[in-house]
């Protein structure tokens, strides 16, 4: 219906709606869309955050092709994603299935798993830093009690990234668990009962009923987990500062290091846009794969 033909009360309601949305839209444009466009422009410049930006064309992107630190950060980010995302999804799904019961006090356990999620990443990273300390840390103390070999963890090039992954998976379990729990509670109980009557065991029920019915939830959790893993920064900044020997440097940390420590804002913007396009491609591939899977199913 054209706006001029709307009844007066609908016109007033729309005007009120636009009025309430105006502040959010202005904030979105100024604080989100504006910086996105500015950083896109800066990716084609050589700017030190002090003087005027100098246009350099594609020089920043060409330089990335010969930047060993960039490829090291890219590989570390991919490694972090390939390990943390499947591990987090599998464990959170298992927890959701274990807590999807009508037992007394089950709500308390669900709440306990959400405490790390609502806690500050910096605070939890500091806590894990103390636990993983090679001299006074709780982890090495428990390993010594069990007569198992200890490790330098955050100072060991082989163990630093697995330690960060462990902390990240632990912190995100509660959020993914709640999503999976909501999906599980949306599965009709009649399907499970019919499968049991037909003689299906627990594994058959899980494979042929639970997983297919959870596919929309699984897809959503997978997408947000991958996007989050490509943006990992807080844990690395607090625990290792990208070390030791760049074994934990990630793309977002490299953006921070390049832009705010070396004041190479143009080059940092180029790295950020490469990360954006990598994330976009991965999400689009997931979307296409999900749609084909649902179609053939």
Average pLDDT, the chain: 87
Is 74 exposed, middle or buried, given 0-12, 13-18 or 19+ CB atoms closer than 10 A? buried
Contacts of residue 282, defined as CB under 8 A and 6 or more positions apart, other chains included, come to 226, 230
Q: What is the distance, to the nearest Å, from the Cα of residue 62 to the centroid of all Cα atoms in its chain?
A: 28
Are 233 and 253 in contact by the 8 Å Cβ rule? The answer is: yes
Q: Which residues share a beta bridge with 45?
A: 55
**Residue ranges, the chain, pLDDT below 50:** 1, 3, 295-296
d(CA 168, CA 287): 25
Distance (Å, rounded) from C-alpha 45 to C-alpha 2?
A: 45
Q: Nearest 5 degrees, angle CA 271-CA 251-CA 167?
A: 160
Which pLDDT score is estimated for 51? 85
CA dist 244 and 247 (Å) reads: 6
For residue 1, the model assigns a pLDDT of 47
Q: What is the pTM of this model?
A: 0.87
CATH of the domain spanning 67-296: 1.10.3720.10
Domain ranges (residues) in the chain: 3-37, 67-296
Residues listed for the chain:
297
Cα–Cα distance measured from residue 116 to residue 173, given in angstroms and rounded to the nearest whole number: 8
- Residue 233 CA from chain centroid, whole number: 10
Per-residue pLDDT tens over the stretch 95-132: 999 888 777 777 787 788 888 888 888 999 999 999 99
């Amino acid at each position: 219906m054209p706006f001029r033909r709307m009844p007066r009360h609908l016109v007033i309601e729309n005007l009120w709606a636009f009025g309430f949305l105006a502040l959010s839209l202005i904030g979105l444009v100024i604080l989100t869309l504006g910086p996105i466009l500015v950083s896109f422009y800066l990716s084609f410049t050589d700017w030190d955050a002090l003087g005027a930006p100098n246009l350099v064309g594609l020089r920043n992107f060409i330089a990335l092709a010969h930047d060993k630190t960039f490829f090291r950060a890219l590989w570390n980010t991919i490694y972090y994603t390939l390990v943390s995302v499947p591990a987090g999804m599998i464990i959170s799904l298992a927890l959701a299935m274990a807590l999807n019961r009508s037992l007394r006090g089950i709500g308390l356990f669900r709440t306990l798993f959400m405490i790390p999620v609502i806690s500050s990443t910096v605070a939890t990273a500091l806590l894990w830093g103390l636990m993983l300390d090679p001299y006074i840390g709780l982890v090495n103390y428990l390993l010594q009690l069990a007569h198992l070999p200890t490790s330098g963890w955050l100072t060991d090039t082989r163990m630093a990234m697995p330690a960060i992954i462990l902390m990240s998976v632990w912190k995100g379990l509660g959020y993914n668990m709640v999503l999976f729990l909501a999906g599980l509670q949306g599965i009709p109980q009649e399907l499970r009962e019919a499968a049991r009557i037909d003689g299906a065991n627990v594994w058959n029920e899980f494979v042929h009923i639970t997983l297919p019915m959870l596919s929309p939830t699984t897809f959503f959790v997978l997408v947000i987990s991958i996007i989050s893993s490509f943006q990992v920064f807080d844990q690395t900044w607090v625990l290792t500062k990208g070390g030791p020997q760049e074994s934990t440097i990630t793309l977002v940390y490299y953006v921070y290091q390049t832009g705010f420590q070396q004041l190479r804002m143009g080059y940092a913007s180029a790295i950020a846009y490469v990360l954006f396009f990598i994330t976009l491609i991965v999400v689009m591939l997931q979307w296409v794969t999900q749609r084909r899977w649902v179609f053939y199913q």
